[in-house]
Chains A and B, each alone.
Chain A
Amino acid sequence: MTKYSRHPLLFAAAVVAASMVVVAQQPPTQPPQQPGSVALVIEGDDPGTPPRLAVPDLLALSNDKEVQEAARTIAQVLWDDLQYEREYYMIPRDTYKSVPAAGSIDTVPYERWREIGADAVVIGSVQRAPNGVRVEMRLYSVSARLSAFAKEYTGSVANPRLYAHTMADEIHMVQRNLRGVARTKLAFSSDRNREAVLGTIEKREVKEIYIADYDGANQRRITINRALNINPNWSPDGRSIAYTSYRSGLPDIFVSHIYAGTMDVLTKNSAQNFLPQFSPDGTRIAFLSTRDGNSEIYVMNRDGSNVQRLTNNPAIDGTPTWSPTGAQIAFTSERTGTPQVYIMNVDGSGLRRVSYESYADRATWSPAPYNEIAFSARTGPGFDIKILNIGSGETRQITFGEGTNESPAWAPNGRHLSFMSTRQGRSQIFTVDRDGRNLRQITRDGNNTTPHWSQ
């Protein structure tokens, strides 16, 4: 239930038939649900073998182009979403192009799917409904010849990907007890607009905050102030983004409430204020400020009140990240001469150093069940992403010198990271699994930096 409330955009869209922008402001509501059987879990042939899944195009039950396109898109996106978590072996979709998916959603040619080697197949349909479309999907066990799980959604046809993302998350949760990331989003900073910064004679281009679906679809601009905007950070409820903006000339911290369309100014002083990070409960924000003359870590309430200083050292202290419980903060300090990662309690006590690199920065603490800190480490001319297991003290590396690789940010289930890489030339956002596999490029337009993954 709480999981749903974190995705207001999705549920508004799934329930209300209207354009995405309009429904985004509707309060989140529970979608209608088919009673689904949870008893039947799809298994592979042998224990340890991932089940083999097929996702043919959904059946378009209305004879119009929009519905037909939605039927294709939903199937492709669902296949991608299920592939992403690597819980299933996804049978390539072009190998069963010729197989009739089903006569109807109720008559599945099990024999044909068995020949393909599928343990399960997702059969679905899309049809016109009074205010949009009705999307029905069922996960059939090929061996049991039964529906293991079924869902029906009614809503706008504007973003059919959302139905696929929802179905993928449901399947992962119900069948694999896994919190998928199909409905999560990435925020990042981008110069793609190629707009000149005003008030300078230098050739400088603005950077605005953008958001995108986790897979890079639906990239959308959040700020429009024609200044430098960097370091976006999602609030845990996914409704707000804190960031650093130079819109008033100096770097200050702002929070934009992206569905309400409002903005709060959290810092306003003659110092530099950078790198806001929401606490896991969303009530506080850790950040770097030079308000007392030196780069130190501070924490404030999410409205900017009650500012408390946590570090007090003549060295640079910066780039804070919260532990999953909010009890500790990891950050970067160069108090030994080079930037290294340290951990302290949230009251500033209990300081200890945890990285021993030539240069380490942008620590980011993984969510449970992994007790890990990812960071960027200088490994040569550039940086690579490394992951420290706090329990064992061991560090492993997941990128290997292709361009520079910086600014890691965990997915909420701890299985993936987003980061910035120059491996394709310009700075772009990528995602990668925590074992270094499954690399995907998210952005291609302009330079894109400092990603952060929504909860």
Chain B
Amino acid sequence: MRRQTNRLMVIAVLMTVAVGACGKKPAPVARPMPPPSNTGATTANVMPPPPPTPVAEPTITVPPMPDDSIASKSLDDLNRDSPLRPLFFELDSAEVSADGQRLLQENAAVMKKYPAWQITIEGHCDERGTAEYNLALGERRALAAKNYLVSLGVPADKVKTVSYGKEFPFEPGHDDGAWSKNRRAHFVITAK
């Protein structure tokens, strides 16, 4: 038991390094890495595109501390420091990039760990599209994220989508930095 914990922690550390090294975009928001999980090891091996065939999930044994803190948090606290990370998009696009697929794999792993969670994926756009077209584009982005999660084995009825177009930007600025943060599928845990 103890040996297994150590091994997983090593993997987790390696993963952190690997993700940090290969991630071409900077971590968008200062958020802790999701808790290391068994599926995490799988993620590190399977590289980009086609959705990996969901691997039979081993029993979860570790790590006890982060788990407890997630389980005991209120919904608001959970969303404030969400273990589900936002997925970012290119201009005018609803395509999930290779990085985005890896991120969704991590989000899917967290969701499978907490099967009672209900999730709403919000689709958001930057201000460079029109208010009207962005309503449809935001839905496309939310749906792209949802479809990928479902392909990873997340039950479809656990995930709702809503598009806010460009109505609720996360960053108020008018530059590339703000725009890249505002083109996103944003995950909200609505029930646990």
A393 to chain B, nearest CB (A): 23
CB pair B133 A361 closer than 8 Å: yes
Contact B167 A201 (CB under 8 A): no
Q: A228-B167, A230-B167 are in contact. Are A316 and B136 (CB under 8 A)?
A: yes
Q: Are A251 and B135 in contact (CB under 8 A)?
A: yes
A333 smallest CB distance to B (angstroms): 10
Interface digits, B59-84 against A, CB 8 Å rule (1 contact, 0 not)? Answer: 00000000000000000100110000
> B131 near A318 (CB under 8 angstroms)?
no
Contact B128 A381, beta carbon cutoff 8 Å: yes
Structural contact, A295 and B139, CB atoms closer than 8 A: yes
Interface size on B, residues (CB 8 A): 26
Task: Among B131, B160, B162, find the residue whose CB has the most chain A CB atoms closer than 10 A.
Answer: B131
Which chain B residues (149-192) contact chain A, with CB distance < 8 Å?
A: 160-164, 167-168, 170, 188
- List residues of chain B with CB within 8 A of the CB of A250: 160, 162
Tell me, in angstroms, the Cα distance from A406 to B140 when the chains sit together. 21
Given contacts A228-B164, A251-B162, A381-B128, contact A318 B80 (CB under 8 A): no
The chain A residue with its CB closest to the CB of B138 is: A272
Interface centre among B80, B136, B167, B168 (most CB of A within 10 A): B136
B132 touches A319 (CB 8 A): yes
A275 to B129 CA separation, bound complex (whole angstroms): 16
Given contacts A200-B188, A249-B162, A272-B139, contact A316 B168 (CB under 8 A): no
How distant is B133 from chain A, measured CB to nearest CB, in Å? 4
Other-chain residue from B80, B127, B132, B163 in contact with A272 (beta carbon distance below 8 A): B163
Contact: B130 with A407, CB < 8 Å? yes
Within 8 A of B (CB), among A338-366: 338-339, 359, 361-362
Digit string of A276-319 for contact with B (CB within 8 Å is 1, else 0)?
00000000000010100001000000000000000000001011
B110 interfacial by beta-carbon distance below 8 Å: no
A418 at the interface (CB under 8 A from B): no
Identify B133's interface contact among A202, A246, A318, A449, CB under 8 A.
A318
- Check: B12 CB closer than 8 A to any chain A CB: no
Whether the Cβ atoms of A332 and B132 lie closer than 8 Å is yes
B117 to chain A, nearest CB (A): 16
Is B125 engaged at the interface, CB distance under 8 Å to the other chain?
A: no
Task: Contact check, B162 vs A318: say whether CB atoms are below 8 A apart.
Answer: no
A270 at the interface (CB under 8 A from B): yes
How many cross-chain pairs have Cβ atoms below 8 Å apart between A and B? 84
In the complex, which range does the number of interface residues on chain A fall in?
Answer: 35 or more
Distance to closest chain A CB from B6 (angstroms): 36
Residue B109 lies at the interface, judged by CB distance under 8 Å to chain A: no
Kindly provide the distance from the CB of A313 to the nearest chain B CB, expressed in whole angstroms. Answer: 12
The complex places the Cα of A361 from the Cα of B140 at a distance, in Å, of 17
Interface string of A202-237 (1 = CB under 8 A from B): 101001000000000000000000001011000000
Q: Which residue from chain B places its CB closest to the CB of A420 in the assembled complex?
A: B131
> Which of B131, B132, B139 has a CB less than 8 Å from the CB of A290?
B139
Tell me whether A272 and B135 are in contact in the complex, defined as CB-CB below 8 angstroms, given that A204-B168, A381-B128, A407-B130 are known contacts.
yes
Bound-state CA distance A125–B167 (Å) is: 48
- Whether A376 sits at the interface, judged by CB under 8 Å, is yes
Give every chain A residue within 8 A of B111 (Cβ-Cβ). none
B132 to A407, Cβ gap below 8 A?
Answer: yes
* Complex: A280 Cα to B175 Cα, angstroms: 41
CA distance A390 to B146 in the complex (A): 41
Enumerate chain B residues within 8 angstroms of A338, measured Cβ to Cβ. Answer: 92
| A332: nearest chain-B partner, CB-CB | B133
Are A288 and B135 CB-contacts (below 8 A) given A272-B162, A376-B130, A383-B130? yes
A443: interface (CB < 8 Å): no
Interface centre among A207, A228, A339, A420 (most CB of B within 10 A): A339
- Are B76 and A201 interface neighbours, CB within 8 A? yes
A261 to chain B, nearest CB (A): 26
Q: Does B121 contact A (CB under 8 A)?
A: no
Q: Which one of A251, A272, A406 contacts B131 once the chains associate, using CB atoms below 8 Å?
A: A406
Do B163 and A251 have beta carbons less than 8 Å apart?
yes
Q: Does A450 make an interface contact (CB < 8 A)?
A: yes
> What B residues does A381 contact at CB under 8 A?
128
CA distance A239 to B167 in the complex (A): 27
Closest to B161 in A: A272
Q: Is B137 an interface residue (CB 8 A)?
A: yes
Q: How far is the CA of A11 from the CA of B168 in the complex (A)?
A: 40
Cross-chain contact of A288 among B80, B136, B188 (Cβ < 8 A): B136
CB closest residue in chain B, given A317: B136
Interface presence of A88 (CB below 8 A): no
When the two chains form their complex, are residues A201 and B136 in contact, meaning their CB atoms are under 8 A apart?
no
Q: Which of B84-142 contact A (CB under 8 A)?
A: 92, 127-133, 135-137, 139-140
Q: Which residue of A lies closest to B169 (CB)?
A: A204
- Tell whether, in the assembled complex, residue A202 and residue B168 are in contact, meaning their CB atoms are under 8 Å apart: yes
Q: Are A201 and B132 in contact (CB under 8 A)?
A: no
Q: A202-B170, A250-B162 are in contact. Are A449 and B131 (CB under 8 A)?
A: yes
A142 to B76, CA, bound (A): 73
Known contacts A228-B167, A230-B167: does B162 contact A319 (CB below 8 Å)?
A: no
Q: In the complex, how many angstroms separate the beta carbon of B30 from the nearest chain A beta carbon? A: 16
B131→A316 contact, CB < 8 A: no
Residues from chain B with a CB closer than 8 A to the CB of A249 are: 162
A-B contact pairs, 14 of them (CB 8 A): A202-B170, A207-B167, A230-B167, A270-B160, A275-B132, A290-B143, A318-B136, A319-B132, A359-B129, A361-B130, A362-B130, A406-B130, A406-B132, A420-B131
Interface residues, chain A, with chain B CB atoms under 8 Å away: 200-202, 204, 207, 228, 230-231, 244, 246, 249-251, 270, 272, 274-275, 288, 290, 295, 316, 318-319, 332, 334, 338-339, 359, 361-362, 376, 381-383, 404, 406-407, 420, 449-450
With contacts A246-B162, A450-B131 known, what are 16 further pairs, Cβ within 8 A?
Answer: A202-B170, A251-B163, A270-B160, A274-B132, A274-B136, A290-B136, A339-B133, A359-B92, A362-B133, A381-B128, A382-B128, A383-B130, A407-B131, A407-B132, A420-B131, A450-B132
